[in-house]
Every structure is written in C-alpha cells, then in structure tokens.
Amino acid sequence: MDDVWRGKNGRDCRLLQPAVLGVLLAVIVVLAVTLGYSGTKTCDACEDGLRAEARCHNITDHLQDRLTRAQKTLQDARALCDSTVENLNAALAEMKTQEEQQRKQVQDLKNEIEDLKQKLQRAEEEAQLLRFEAPARPGQAPRPTSLPKPRAPVSRSTLTDPGG
C-alpha cells in the first residue's frame, strides 16, 4: 500500500496531506465566515423588514380605526338627518291640516256673515213693512204710504268727504 502513496518521483504523498487539509480548512473557514456575515446581514435586513411590516400594520390599524369612527359619525349624521326629515314632514302635514281647517272656518264664517246679512236685510224689510202697515196711534203723525228707498251703505269716504 505504500506504493500507492508514493508519487512517480518517489516523493511521499503523505507530506501533501497536511497542506491539502490546511487549504481545505482555510476554504471552510472562509466559507463559514462569509455565510455568517451574510447571515447577519440577512438577519439585519429581516429585522428591518419586520420593523417596516410592524409600522405598516400599526398605520393600517390606525387608519382602520379612523375609518370606523368616520363611518359611525356618518351613520349617526344620516340617522339624525332622516329623523329631522321625518319630523319636518310631520310638521308640514300638520300645518297643511291646520291651514285647511282655517280655510274651512273662514269660509264657514263668510257663509254665516252672508246669511246674517240676508236675515238682517229681511228683518229690516219686515220692520219697514210693519211700520207702514200699523195704524197710526193717537198723537202720532201719519205715516207715509210709500216705502222709503233703502239706504246706501255708509263708507268712510262718504263720512269724511262732505262734497261726495
């Protein structure tokens, strides 16, 4: 077996073994350091990414809370608006009903005034007839035989204007 470990020139390959092992060990150390360094760099990048993700998550939560509050405020405002519209519509309907009742009352009063005017006119006519039909009492002047003409209604302009 010693022949296998001897080179062509008769040199011993056993002397090369520590050198090869040293080079392999150096390569392994360099690779380990490189991987360790890149691992720490990757770890730092991962931590930066995790911090950025946490910040984004916090901002997202904050914005979600603000959106929820804004939606609640909008919902409350919409409910208040709807309630106000309902109240205003009810008040308007009530006012229309009252207005209609007042119109009816005004019309009823106008009709009643017209009826009373007609009754007054008839009563005046009957009183005139009774005055002329009644026999003259002793000591009274005889009454005229013809009916007097009805008087024109007195207005303010005829009272204040002596020439009119």
- Annotate the chain with DSSP letters as a single string: -TTTTB-TTS-BGGGHHHHHHHHHHHHHHHHHHHHHHHHHHHHHHHHHHHHHHHHHHHHHHHHHHHHHHHHHHHHHHHHHHHHHHHHHHHHHHHHHHHHHHHHHHHHHHHHHHHHHHHHHHHHHHHHHHHHHHSPPPTTSPPPPSSPPPPPPPP-HHHHH-TT-
Residue 60 burial (10 A CB sphere; 0-12, 13-18, 19+): exposed
- How many domains, the chain? 1
> Partners of 12 in the beta sheet?
6
Inter-residue contact 142 to 136 (CB < 8 Å): yes
Per-residue pLDDT reduced to its tens digit, 26-37: 999 888 888 777
* 1 part of a folded domain: no
* 33 part of a folded domain: yes
Per-residue pLDDT reduced to its tens digit, 52-108: 999 999 999 999 999 999 999 999 999 999 999 999 999 999 999 999 999 999 999
Domain that holds residue 30: 13-128
Q: How far apart are CA 143 and CA 135, in angstroms?
A: 9
* 17 part of a folded domain: yes
- State the pLDDT at residue 164: 44
* 70 part of a folded domain: yes
* 158 part of a folded domain: no
Per-residue pLDDT reduced to its tens digit, 100-158: 999 999 999 999 999 999 999 999 999 999 988 876 565 665 555 555 555 555 554 54
- Structure tokens that stand for 91 in this block: 């008040």
* 60 part of a folded domain: yes
- State the pLDDT at residue 1: 45
* 31 part of a folded domain: yes
* 163 part of a folded domain: no
Q: What is the pTM of this model?
A: 0.43
Q: How far apart are CA 151 and CA 163, in angstroms?
A: 18
